[in-house]
Structure 1
Amino acid sequence: MNNIKKKYIAYIVVATIIVYATVRYFGTVERYILRVTNTLMPFVAGAMMAYIINILMDAYEDLLLKKFHNKKIIRAVSIVLSIFTFVLVIVLLLGLIIPQLVKIMFSIMYTDPGDIKKIIESISKNNIVDKIADIMNIDIKNIDISGYVTKLIHSVMSSVGNILMGVISGISGIFNTVISVFMAVVFAIYILVDKERIALQGDKLLRAFLPSKRDTVIDVLSIFNKSFRNYFISQIKEAIILGVLLYIVMIIARLPYASSISILVGVTALIPVIGAYAGLFIGALMIITKSFSSMIIFIIVHTLVQQFENNIIYPRVVGSSVGLPGMWVIVAVALGGSLFGIFGVFVAVPVAASLYFILKRETLKRL
């Protein structure tokens, strides 16, 4: 008993010293934490990349196992094909979207004031706008549309300027970025090659240091893995279907930028809740440079396709793969975005779904 008491006292003393030193030298500790975090970021990115690529690699391995039996060759070929597919998709998306976005930025920057005046006049004289204004009891003639549009253009111009300045300042750090990306890719390849051995080493650590909690830890990790895997696969399926549907409808309606906007909407659809609205806003901004009436048609088309996809296709394709009620999806996205930015928005739903499943299961057990 005395030894146990002495051990706990020692723990308390050490914890007290650590807390005091952290508070007393908080600035120094914060700098070291940031330095360590920045150093580890390529490896964290590599681990995340490996997790996503592993989904592709499992599919390729299942396909190749039907024709070949050498596991080493199958693993090597699957890794190469998975990384090639991953990089190819990213390059294609960036190659299709970025030129169009740059084009629209410059078209906005160099828009003739006379064209802006024509757009304003077409908005004020548009029959659809008049009908909407009548329904909402808005006197559109007394609204300073020109002032609002001017403010919008100024805000867009300042945003474009900030983006360009950010790109110029980011060029100076491109060497470090290339090195970080290279390290992340190499680390991801190491993980994919030795994933079974890494899992075995993790199991040995659990048996050695947490033997009583081993089964619980493995169970929780398997729940999180299933949630993340199902979420990524279902979101990608949904995004592809939404992009294809929107492209077909836009071609039928003869709307401009059909391919670029469809791909953009499909990519932004990967972001839960707010992704669809982001794609709608950027697409409308691109089309308004061509025609205001086309923009109105695009908004209607996008809304109809989005509703059809959400209510008809999404339940059949995705179903209950995530298993998180819609109310908690909104809460999770808001909380994840406020805490960790865009990264938090992406991972908030599968994390919340995992915690929801664990809590639900434990509640049922206790009841």
Structure 2
Amino acid sequence: MNGIKKKYIVYIMIFTIIIYAIVRYFNIVEGYIRSITKALMPFVAGAMMAYIINILMDAYEDLLLKRFNNKKIIRMIAIILAIFTFLLVIVLLLGIIIPQLVKILFSIMYTNPDNIKKVIVDISNNEWIDKALSMINIDINKIDVADYITKLIKSVMLSVGNVLTGVISGISGVFNTIISLFMAVVFAIYILCDKEKLSLQGDKLLRAFLPSKREWIIDTLKIFNTSFRNYFISQVKEAIILGVLLYIVMFIARLPYASSISILVGVTALIPVIGAYAGLFIGALMILTKSVQSMIIFIIVHTLVQQFENNIIYPRVVGSSVGLPGMWVIVAVTLGGSLGGVFGVMISVPVAAGLYFILKRETEKRL
């Protein structure tokens, strides 16, 4: 017993010394943590990339195994096809969206104040907007919107200038970014090639150091893997369907930027809850440079398509794949956004779904 007590006392003393050192030399420790985090980012990005590409790779392997028997060749072909598909989708998305956003940015930067006044007049003379504002007792004629928007555009132009200056000064970091991206891709390929071997090595570590917790850890990892996999696949399906539906309706209504906005809305739909509104805002801003009437039609069209997709298609496509009630989705997204920004929003739902499933299962066991 004395030996056990002495061991715990030693552990407490070591822990206290470590805590004191971290508090006393916080700035130095923080610098080391940032350096380590920065060095590990390519490998973290590579692991995330491998997880997403692995979903595509499994689909290609299942397809190829029906026709061929050589697993090594099938593995290499599946990896090449999955990486090519992943990169192709990213390049196509960036190639379509970025030029349109740049075009819109410059059109806003060089907008003539007279054109702004014309837009305001069009808005004030629009029957739909006039009725909507009258319902909330707002008289647009009493608001000096033109002056406000002119100041806003000047502020945007100044901000854009500062951003461009920062981009120009940061061009030297492009080379480091390319190297980091290359390392991430290479690391992802290594993970995909040796995923079974890595799984066996992880199992050996658990057997050696955490034998009593092995089953619990594996079970927990399986739950979160299922949650992330189902969430990712269902969100991609939903985003594709939403983008296609919006494009068809916009094409029929002859609205401008139909393809760009549809792809943009589809991509932003991958972000739960707030994604659809972000796509609506950016799309409305893009169409506003063409016509106020078209912008109003787009807002109505987007709202109708979104409601149809949420109430008819989403339950059938996604269903209970994630298994998280709507109330907790909102809570998860809010917490995720506060802690991790856009990235936190995207991973908050599957993480919360996994925790919800574990808590629900354990509660049912105890009852």
TM-score by length of 2: 0.97
Task: Tell me the equivalent position of 1:200.
Answer: 200
Q: Which amino acid aligns with 1:28?
A: I
Task: Tell me the equivalent position of 1:104.
Answer: 104
Q: Which region of structure 1 is more displaced relative to structure 2, 113-122 or 87-96?
A: 113-122
1:168-200 CA distance string (max 9 Å, x none):
233221011001001100000000000000000
Task: Tell me the equivalent position of 1:352.
Answer: 352
CA contact (8 A) 1:105 1:160 kept: no
CA contact (8 A) 2:113 2:150 kept: no
RMSD over aligned Cα, in angstroms?
1.2
- Is 2:95 the partner of 1:95? yes
The share of aligned pairs that are identical, in percent, is: 79
Q: Which region of structure 1 is more displaced relative to structure 2, 194-203 or 134-143?
A: 134-143
Could you tell me which runs of 5 or more consecutive residues in structure 1 were left unpaired when the two chains were aligned: none
Q: Which amino acid aligns with 2:89?
A: V
User: How many angstroms apart in 1 are the aligned matches of 2:159 and 2:237?
Assistant: 32
User: How many angstroms apart in 2 are the aligned matches of 1:126 and 1:94?
Assistant: 35
Task: Tell me the equivalent position of 1:7.
Answer: 7
User: How many residue pairs were aligned?
Assistant: 367
User: How many angstroms apart in 1 are the aligned matches of 2:162 and 2:274?
Assistant: 23
1:271-295 CA distance string (max 9 Å, x none):
1111111101110110011001000
User: How many angstroms apart in 2 are the aligned matches of 1:316 and 1:89?
Assistant: 25
- Is 2:126 the partner of 1:126? yes
Task: Tell me the equivalent position of 1:209.
Answer: 209
User: How many angstroms apart in 1 are the aligned matches of 2:323 and 2:155?
Assistant: 40
User: How many angstroms apart in 2 are the aligned matches of 1:242 and 1:162?
Assistant: 36
How far apart are residue 130 of structure 1 and its match? 1.4
- The SS at the match of 2:170 is helix
Task: Tell me the equivalent position of 1:160.
Answer: 160
TM-score by length of 1: 0.97
How far apart are residue 154 of structure 1 and its match? 3.4
Task: Tell me the equivalent position of 1:43.
Answer: 43
1:151/1:307 Cα in 2 relative to 1: closer, same or farther (>3 Å)? farther
CA contact (8 A) 1:227 1:350 kept: yes
1:364/1:242 Cα in 2 relative to 1: closer, same or farther (>3 Å)? same
Task: Tell me the equivalent position of 2:259.
Answer: 259
1:161/1:325 Cα in 2 relative to 1: closer, same or farther (>3 Å)? farther
1:1-59 CA distance string (max 9 Å, x none):
22222221221111111111111111111111111110001000000000000000000
User: How many angstroms apart in 2 are the aligned matches of 1:326 and 1:86?
Assistant: 30
Q: Which amino acid aligns with 2:14?
A: V
User: How many angstroms apart in 2 are the aligned matches of 1:261 and 1:16?
Assistant: 56
How far apart are residue 149 of structure 1 and its match? 2.4
User: How many angstroms apart in 2 are the aligned matches of 1:162 and 1:222?
Assistant: 47
Could you tell me which runs of 5 or more consecutive residues in structure 2 were left unpaired when the two chains were aligned: none
User: How many angstroms apart in 1 are the aligned matches of 2:327 and 2:269?
Assistant: 18
- Is 2:26 the partner of 1:26? yes
CA contact (8 A) 1:234 1:321 kept: yes
- Is 2:325 the partner of 1:321? no
- Is 2:233 the partner of 1:233? yes
